[in-house]
Chains A and B, each alone.
Chain A
Amino acid sequence: MSFAWVTLDTVSSPVIVASDLVKRYGEVVAVGGVSFEVAPGESFGLLGPNGAGKSTTMRMIGAVSTRTSGRLEILGLDPDRYGPEIRSQLGVVPQSDNLDEELRVRENLLVYGRYFGMTRAHVSGRADELLAFAQLQDKAKAKVTDLSGGMKRRLTIARGLMNDPRILLLDEPTTGLDPQARHILWDRLFRLKEQGTTLVLTTHYMDEAEQLCDRLVVVDKGAIMAEGSPSSLIRRYSSREVLELRFGADRNAEMADRLRDAGDRVEALPDRVLVYTADGEGELARLTDAGMRPITSLVRRSSLEDVFLRLTGRSLIE
């Protein structure tokens, strides 16, 4: 690639270093002092509810938002000084699509590649490669407004890959997509991960985080609550299994009180009671023997949702 690295001697030094990173908008503290590092080739996630500060963090990493305080280095560079240099090495998939609706699908890629100083010939070849990668070859001449949500997302990812970035930033890549469209997208992101692209993504879907992230931080109200791999977080903050019991809206709270000593821990939600335990079926049998009669019961594996609930006392998706 004509614009790529002359030398790539980066083996293990982090590609992103944030420490005590703060962003304030007047009185609003969007990001309140977060610290994390991302290693090259890693797939790193920011998991958190609405307003947690995920997009704000992504915009600072993307060198389009200046930090209020703290240290931030992308590829060893300070974004305040080397914005264009950093952005030339990033691919960005923003939370809301901003494809040019006045241009056709392929034209969006052509125009965007030029912004990185790529030649017309180079841009043209790369656009065809990425249309194939995004499974949009048939749509090359289509209007952007005629694409489905999933297709637009894939096109935005293809656009973010035009410059063959070292880091791909994905802000809620699958929010608003139906399950099938999400799976197609995950599959494409998996491929990038396999090819060694560093992925940084935000999501408020725990299954997405479990699928895609090697490591993640759970953020809430601008602060990091926990950090680790999905499985280690689940091990640390939750039990192996969860027994979900429903007693009817008006009885859940009362039953939770009676269940206090069940399993390792009990969490009462408005619509159900969660019993954290290593053995869900065994716990259910014990409770049934003790005369509890839930309307429905379900045993499932612990997820990041449970981790989040444990850490914040709130549900991830309100």
Chain B
Amino acid sequence: MTALDAAPGEQLRRVAARPRRFGAWYVAEHRLRVMRSYVSTVLIGAVGTPLLYLFAMGVGLGALVSANLGPHAVDGVSYLRFVAPALLCTAAVTVASEEFTYPVMLGFKWNPTFVGISSSPVSPGQIIDGMVIAVVIRLVATSAVYWLFMLLFGATPSGAAALSVLIATLVGLAFGAPVMAYVATLTSDSGQIAMLMRFVLLPLTLFSGTFFPLTLMPVYLQWIGWLSPIWHGTQLARIVSYGAREPAWLIAVHVLYLLALFVSGWLLARRIAKGRLYS
């Protein structure tokens, strides 16, 4: 008989041991190599976005608000400090919405590299895990750059406020993982992804207590904030940034809601990928 089943246990494990264990990292490595081909876009985005927004909010709108309502106009802090955590979270969601839409569509359909990978020892679930790992790396990096600019603009204190970087990353994943699961079900894109950007992402960024507290919005719009990972994440970032006050139960809700969105989207995407690649 063949070498493979001569000693099933031991030898079997050996031939695919590394891919079984590290498969997701190989996928992430592949993704990061692809990102290198659009590294200039990534860098311009990572640096340009905080510069533009912090300048506009701090020097522009922020000055206007302070002139009219005083230096502690919103939530007891300057407008810039109030708005910066929200901008950080929104930027993370924007990055996630790039990485979890077209690259996923590409991998399953347009240039089916996922199909290619699935004929190696690496499994569909590991392909999804690898996508997530690569996006985490990009999210942490861009959020860290963003946060450094916030520091530079005086939009955040230093120290524990740096936790905002991780919060923003979690917000990106909480939004991105369900989006990835949805995109993984698409067999063709007849505008669904553009619709998602326009009718889900855009309202979320506008109605998530980004530019003024959620409680100041009309009651019939506040539910959007409650559903929005951006609002939950922004509130957490405001807590670690300038000590915004929230009851403990609400903090727990913020954290659990973000984790639940991320994990359920991730697991769902794994299931869908398996069904699709192993048909």
Contact = CB atoms under 8 A, between A and B. Distances in A.
B279 A65 contact: yes
Contact of B15 (A25, A62, A85, A159): A85
Of the four ranges (under 10, 10 to 19, 20 to 34, 35 or more), the interface on chain B belongs to: 35 or more
Given A84-B16, A89-B15, A98 B113 contact: yes
Nearest to A163: B120
Interface in A139-180: 159, 163
A145 to B, nearest CB: 9
B116 A99 contact: yes
Contacts of A9: 2-3, 6
A9 B4 CA distance: 10
B16 A62 contact: no
A18 to B, nearest CB: 16
Contact of A101 (B4, B22, B27, B111): B111
B33 interface: yes
B70 to A, nearest CB: 51
A9 to B, nearest CB: 6
B2 A64 contact: no
A65 B119 contact: no
B121 A6 contact: no
Contact of B16 (A7, A64, A76, A85): A85
Contacts of B123: 83-84
Contact of B278 (A7, A64, A94, A103): A64
Contacts of B37: 102-103
Given A5-B3, A98-B111, A103-B33, A64 B15 contact: no
A7 B4 CA distance: 9
Q: Is the interface of B mostly helix, strand, loop or mixed?
A: helix
A111 interface: yes
A82 B3 CA distance: 14
B2 A13 contact: yes
Interface string A72-114: 0001110000111101111010100011111100010001101
A101 B107 CA distance: 11
Contacts of A103: 33-34, 37
Contact of B120 (A66, A77, A107, A115): A115
B29 A94 contact: no
A51 interface: no
Contacts, number: 116
A87 B26 CA distance: 16
Contacts of B15: 3, 85, 88-89
B34 A62 contact: no
A67 to B, nearest CB: 12
A6 B17 CA distance: 14
A38 B5 CA distance: 17
B19 A116 contact: yes
Secondary structure of the A contact surface, majority rule: loop
A151 B71 CA distance: 66
A117 interface: yes
A7 B20 CA distance: 22
B3 A115 contact: no
B120 A87 contact: yes
A6 B3 contact: yes
A94 B119 contact: yes
Given A85-B16, A111-B30, A76 B119 contact: no
Select the residue from A7, A8, A87, A90 with max chain B CB neighbours within 10 A: A87
B112 interface: yes
A10 interface: yes
Interface in B17-44: 17-20, 22-23, 26-27, 29-30, 33-34, 37
B250 to A, nearest CB: 43
Contacts of A112: 116, 120
B113 A66 contact: no
Contact of B1 (A13, A83, A85, A98): A13
B218 to A, nearest CB: 45
B119 A92 contact: yes
A101 B2 CA distance: 38
Interface in A1-32: 3, 5-10, 13, 15, 25
A83 B120 CA distance: 9
B9 to A, nearest CB: 12
B3 A10 contact: yes
B118 A64 contact: yes
A30 to B, nearest CB: 11
A94 B114 CA distance: 13
Contacts of B29: 111, 114
A138 to B, nearest CB: 21
A115 B15 CA distance: 12
Contacts of A15: 2
A83 B278 CA distance: 11
Nearest to B124: A64
Contact of B20 (A10, A65, A84, A90): A84
A104 to B, nearest CB: 9
8 contacts: A3-B18, A10-B3, A15-B2, A83-B121, A102-B111, A117-B19, A117-B22, A117-B121
| Shortest Cβ-Cβ A-B pairs, 3 listed | A117-B18, A115-B120, A84-B121
